[in-house]
Amino acid sequence: MTAPKRLPPALLAELLPPGVDCALELLPPAQTPGPVGFAWDEERDEVQSAVPKRQREYAAGRRLAGELLLNAGAKAGPLLTGPDRAPLWPAKYTGSISHCDGLCAAAVARTSDHRSVGIDVEPATPLNPKLWSSILNPSEADRLEVMGERGAMLATAHFSGKEALYKLIAADFGRFVGLLDVELRFSLMKFTFTAHGGANDEERRKLATVQGRWRITGRHVLTTATWS
């Protein structure tokens, strides 16, 4: 079993507010042979019938989140999955996990500081034009279309931002919120985004308090969503 390769967390940490700790790990190529290292049998059981790539990304997310939880003072134990596919964070803690080809990220906070957290990582590739209409609503697409190649990369960042936002709000909203149900407005100067939409006044008010942050590196797009 090859040792996990950690990345300095600064790349993600600078997109998160005080009170959220985070970690990054490089994932091996999909076809890497050899056993997957699980910290807990219960975690292995959750993905034992999954393909090795899925087992590796799941195990990496659990490894990072488990260490962050321990650092934050939580008791050691498996981090299992709830019916909505979100991790069942221990009482008084919250967090978020994301993985894509090559990278896994996790973030953890105390619920006394943040009631939820959303993070997402994606490969830094322009968004396929065929996918634009199922991910971007017309006003987002209009803004990005005129920007050429840069717009296509920012379209990927919009996709990522919406995934991070979903992880932040899903439990709070208690319903599925689709990619086209929200509009993100990016600041290209501040590397932030705001979220707009919602099915009622309460959801609109909550979305207005979301603070989004994004970064595009040579290899990855990273986004975070927190409540400001």
Ligand X SMILES: CC(C)(COP(=O)(O)OP(=O)(O)OC[C@H]1O[C@@H](n2cnc3c(N)ncnc32)[C@H](O)[C@@H]1OP(=O)(O)O)[C@@H](O)C(=O)NCCC(=O)NCCS
By CB under 6 A, name the binding residues for ligand X. 57-58, 61, 81, 84-87, 97-99, 120, 162-163, 165-167, 170, 177-179, 181-182
Q: Least Å distance between CB 27 and ligand X? A: 11
Least distance in angstroms from the C-beta of 31 to ligand X: 19
Cross-strand bridge partners of residue 195: 184
Q: What is the torsion angle, in degrees rounded to the nearest 10, for the CA atoms of residue 102, residue 187, residue 107 and residue 120?
A: -40
Residue number with CB closer to ligand X (130 or 146): 130
> Which of 22/182 has CB closer to ligand X?
182
Q: Give bridge partners of residue 223 from the DSSP assignment.
A: 120, 214
How far apart are CB 220 and ligand X at their closest, in Å? 12
Q: What is the nearest approach in angstroms of ligand X to the Cβ of residue 5? A: 18
Q: Report d(CA 222, CA 212) in Å as an integer.
A: 11
Q: Which helix (H) or strand (E) holds 24?
A: strand 20-26
Residue 149 in 3-state DSSP? helix
Q: Which C-beta is closer to ligand X: that of 129 or that of 178?
A: 178
The H or E element containing residue 183 is strand 182-187
Nearer CB in complex with ligand X: 146/177: 177
- What is the closest distance, in whole angstroms, from the C-beta atom of residue 151 to ligand X in the complex? 20
C-beta closer to ligand X: residue 30 or 148: 30
58: its two tokens? 């799941």
**Phi, psi torsion values for 217, nearest 5 degrees:** -100, -175
